[in-house]
Amino acid sequence: MKRLISLLARRRWFGLPRALSLALVVVLTGALVMYWPVLFPSARVRAVVEGLRTGSVYVEPGAPGVVDPDRARKVVGDRPIVVAILNEEPLPASGHINGPDYEFCEDVARLVSTSLVAVFAVDEHGVYESSYCDGAAFPGQGDWGFYVDVVSTAQTAWTYRATPQDRTPEIEEFALAFDVLAAERFPAGIPRRGSVPDQLAWWQGVLAVIGMVAATVALFLSLRLLGGALRRRGTQRAALTHRRAAASARLSRLADHVLHTERPTDLAEAGRLADAARSYVRLVGRHDDAHDPAELDVVELELAELERELGLAERS
């Protein structure tokens, strides 16, 4: 515990500023959580993805006969739709809001990113159900994207056709809804199913993690530079304020000298005092208008010269 407290109290962790180290820990943790299914898919997900290389439908050994795979392949054709028919082995427990079957669907969709995915599996209640999701590279991808419209349209129809013993009508209605909605959504051309990459796209996850780390470092450096610039600006502003106050005090001493000097004894003395008064008035105006160091430099030089003329240089 003492070592942990000592580490947390250090200004630098592992040779890096503490703030940057904390940011990198948060980013790396988030990246691993986000890309873990891509970098390290489960054996079951990998088997599904490998099986989809040769066709649009994967059937896990021992799958119940509630979906006709041959009919599903014929219905799907070359549409960007893939179907995974799992057996009745329960999926690992999940904290996903829609249950482990939907999470499994998303894990497959991350690796078959250009397709809409349908998964038939046992849900969190032990019921053999279907889940639908879309790949990250599918047009209109998103929580309320194109696939949601397809599912809601198809579900209205398959409710009257599909039964617990025959779920094949779900695929049929899903394909029909896709055709209708895709014609409206993609007037330039309806998407078709692409091939599954020969290598699972783990490198994309690695590159994404590297990009997130690089972005974090860049943001930290930018904020640090901005903070340094703001601190320097504040220091310069404080220094300028101090210089203006000092110059104002010197002008006050000059005013006191000019106003309370003894009566001049001759015309030359009177002229000198008049010139000093004019210079003082001019300096006051320049001092009021001096808003940057360069302008204040000029005021201070003229002020020093006037102080010398009036014999006040030593007292200033």
Domains of the chain as residue ranges with CATH: 42-199 (3.10.310)
- pLDDT over threshold 90, residue 307: no
pLDDT in tens, 88-104: 999 988 888 889 999 99
pTM metric for this prediction:
0.56
CA distance 307 to 201: 78
Nearest partner of 52 among 179, 194, 224, 242, judged by Cα: 194
pLDDT category of residue 54 using cuts at 50, 70 and 90: confident
**End-to-end CA gap in the chain:** 60
CA distances from 257 to 157, 265, 312 (A): 100, 17, 9
Q: What is the pLDDT of residue 81?
A: 94
> Residue 223: pLDDT above 60?
yes
The region of weakest confidence among 166-180, 192-206, 292-306 is 192-206
| Choice between 305 and 127, residue whose per-residue pLDDT is larger | 127
Average pLDDT, the chain: 78
For residue range 1-35, what is the model confidence (pLDDT) as tens digits? 555 455 445 555 555 565 656 666 666 566 555 55
- Secondary structure (3-state) at 162: coil
Residue with the bigger pLDDT between 232 and 24: it is 232
Which range has the worst mean pLDDT, 120-124, 142-146, 199-203?
199-203
Describe the crossing of helices 146-158 and 168-185 by its angle, rounded to 10 degrees. Answer: 140
Q: What DSSP designation does 163 have?
A: B
- Amino acid at site 28: L
Most trustworthy range by pLDDT among 53-67, 143-157, 219-233: 53-67
- Once rounded to an integer, what is the mean pLDDT over residues 181-193? 84
